[in-house]
Amino acid sequence: MVTQDPSFDHVVAVTPRGAASYEVVVGRGLLGAVDRFLPDGVSSLALVCDETVADLYAPVVRQALERTGLALVEIRFPAGEASKTRATKARIEDAMFEAGLDRHSLVVALGGGVTSDLAGFVAATFMRGIATINLPTTLLAMVDATVGGKTGIDTPAGKNLVGAFHHPLAVAADVGTLRSLDPRLVLDGLAEMIKHAVVADEAAFAELSLLPSRLDSLDSGEWAKLVADSIAIKAGVVSDDPTELGRRRILNFGHTIGHGLELLFHWRLSHGRAVALGMVAEARIAEKLGLLQAVDRRRIEDLLDRFGVLSLGPVDSGALLKAMARDKKNRAGRLRMALPSRVGAMHEFDGRWVTDVPVEVVVAVVEELWGQAG
């Protein structure tokens, strides 16, 4: 499945504030070359992945890791968000202790966002923190989870409620793995790539507009460049605001409405669709507030529409608002959103990157997009 000759096509340097900088390498055949990313002084290794990814890619990764001669334990968990629990975290930790891992051990997280969240959180708290190397195997994990250091698990009270900021030592994004990716999962990543372009990089937006609506050749060199560019956008935004209090909030574009839709539809909408729909709604909100011109709003909408994800049954705006109020980011019942001012830039006023949005504007946009007629 995976090319044997590794090509290190692109390298993005990430410099989180208050933590060591690291590199994200985007290329092909990287899974089989993961041993090159290990630092000196590592005592032993844990390879953590879900069962689906294990069947596809664990053998080639294990083979590369075994070249180091270090003791290696492979720990699998059932695929899916349902595994992002305290119980799975405890089981992985106990397996690591059982295997004799210590504070000089290193975790290799192989898989999508669930794996980097879960295995990253395990590493963040294992003996108060050990190193990780991330091997993302989904487009979303490549363009989103590789930068920012967010790790965590879900609790009965909600998603990602318990976790830590923990940056990896290195990330190797092997686009060869994208060939096996479910098209809906491709969309999850693509929505984030479009978001990155809208919030900070018009040239990247233009490049994405050249994509065919039916995506293939996801393992090509051209695609590797698009992925690396998207990672670089996020790295630029996050590096000057690592704890999510200032400009980093622009990365929330599409997510206030999007997360509300996810809650309203009980997570039956894919994340990519929810964010795509959220971006369309929030762009319309920005237009209604006089922050965004109609022509730019239409450009955003047209690009998203190309991937056929914007149809949605009727949405009750009252129920959506109630769902949004349960979002941890909507503090004290106020609706605040990061909104675009044009394609490639976000609205900023007096150092603040979020805008208070009147409830009536949200209701009007929801009716317009997904009212009974829609």
The residue (of 74 and 117) whose beta carbon lies closer to its own copies is 117
| Other Cβ atoms closer than 10 A to 15 | 15
> In terms of C-beta density within 10 A (0-12 exposed, 13-18 middle, 19 or more buried), how is residue 209 classed?
middle
CA-closest candidate to residue 260, choices 353, 188, 161, 362 = 362
Closest distance to its own copies from the beta carbon of 326 (Å): 11
CB of 238 to its own copies, least distance (A): 14
Give φ, ψ of 47 to 5 degrees.
-100, 115
Q: Clarify whether 347 is annotated catalytic.
A: no
Residue placing its CB nearer to its own copies in the complex, 16 or 254: 16
Residue showing tokens 């992925």? 227
- Which one, 17 or 298, has the nearer CB to its own copies? 17
**Shortest Å distance, C-beta 317 to its own copies:** 24
Identify whether 322 is a catalytic site residue. Answer: no
Name the one residue in this structure whose structure tokens are 């002084």. Answer: 41
Shortest distance (Å) from residue 124 CB to its own copies? 7
> Active-site residue 166, yes or no?
no
Q: Catalytic residue at 93?
A: no
27: its two tokens = 């290329």
* Complex with its own copies: residue 115 or 137, whichever CB lies closer: 115
Question: Comparing C-alpha atoms, which of 66, 12, 4, 55 is closest to residue 31?
Answer: 4
Per CB under 8 A, residues contacting its own copies are 18-19, 43, 86, 90, 93-94, 97-98, 102-104, 121, 124-129, 150-152, 155-158, 161-165, 328, 331-332
Cβ-based nearer residue to its own copies, 8 or 165: 165
Q: Tell me whether residue 352 is one of the annotated catalytic residues.
A: no
Per the annotation, the verdict on 259 as an active-site residue is yes
Catalytic residue among 81, 207, 244, 367: 244
Distances (CA, A) of 191 to 134, 172, 203, 251, 304: 21, 21, 16, 12, 8
User: Which is the catalytic residue, given 167, 248, 284, 297?
Assistant: 248
Mode of pairing for the β-strands spanning 44-50 and 71-77: parallel
- The one catalytic residue in 28, 196, 249, 255 is 255
Known catalytic residues are: 128, 150, 192, 234, 244, 248, 252, 255, 259, 271
